[in-house]
Amino acid sequence: MKLIRILKNIYRNLFFTLGNITKPAVTIKYPEERRVFPDKLRIGTFGLTSNEETGEENCIACKLCEKVCPSQIIEIDIEKRDGRGWAKKFNLDLQSCIQCELCVQVCPVDAIIMMKEAAKPSISRNDFYLTKTKMMRNAEKYEASWAKGSILQESHTPNLEDKK
C-alpha cells in the first residue's frame, strides 16, 4: 500500500516536471531586456513637478503629504516668499516607503508624482534618500505614472448627478 502511494507520487511529479520543461521560459535577460509593467503598478520612485513656463516648483509647502504619510518618511521645511509657501527642504526616504501613493493623492497642486521607473538597486543608503533636487531631476528624467493627485481625487469623488 505504501509502495503504491510512493509510485503514484513519483509518477505525478515526473509528469508535472515534464509538462513544465516544454513551456517557454518566463525569465528575461534584465539589462538587455526590460519587462513592461502595467500602468497602475506602484513600484516607482518619486518626482517633484515644476511649472513649465516659469520653471519654478509646483510645491506650495502645504505639508499635507507629510501629514498623511503612514510611514512618516517625508520631511518638509517651509519658506514664505512672494505671498506663497515654498519647500525650502523636501526630503523623502525610500527605504521606509510603502508605496501607498497617499502623498500623491492628497497633493492639491499635483506637485509630487510617482514615476514609472523603479528605484535603482544600490549598496549605499544615501541613494534611497531623495532630496528636492533629486526629485525634480526624476520628474524631468522619467515618465510619470498615470496617477496624479487631481485624477485620484476625481476618481474618489462621488458623482451626484448619477444618483438623480
Tens digit of each residue's pLDDT (9 = 90 or more) over 17-65? 888 888 888 888 877 887 777 777 777 789 999 988 888 899 999 999 9
Residue ranges of the domains in the chain?
Answer: 38-157
Half-sphere exposure of 53 (CA within 13 A, CB side): 0
Beta-bridge mates of residue 85: 80
Question: Considering the domain 38-157 in this protein, what is its CATH number?
Answer: 3.30.70.3270
Over residues 67-104, the pLDDT tens digits come to: 999 999 999 999 998 888 899 999 999 999 998 889 99
CA distance 49 to 58: 6
3-class DSSP assignment, residue 119: coil
Q: Please, which residues have CB within 8 angstroms of residue 68's CB and are 6 or more apart in sequence?
A: 102, 103, 105, 106
All three cell numbers of 27, joined, read 525569465
Shortest CA distance to 46 belongs to which of 118, 127, 154, 153? 118
- Classify residue 148 by its DSSP letter: -
Q: How confident is the model at residue 1 (pLDDT cuts 50, 70, 90)?
A: confident
Q: What is residue 83's predicted lDDT score, i.e. its pLDDT?
A: 84
- Taking residues 133-150, report their average pLDDT: 79
CA distance 97 to 103: 11
Q: What is residue 20's predicted lDDT score, i.e. its pLDDT?
A: 85
Q: How many CB atoms lie within 10 A of CB 119?
A: 18
All three cell numbers of 137, joined, read 531631476
CA distance 151 to 81: 29
CA distance 105 to 45: 15
Beta-bridge mates of residue 8: none
Q: What is the pTM of this model?
A: 0.69
Q: What is residue 146's predicted lDDT score, i.e. its pLDDT?
A: 61
| Cβ–Cβ under 8 Å, residues 114 and 101 | yes
All three cell numbers of 54, joined, read 516659469
Q: What is residue 67's predicted lDDT score, i.e. its pLDDT?
A: 96
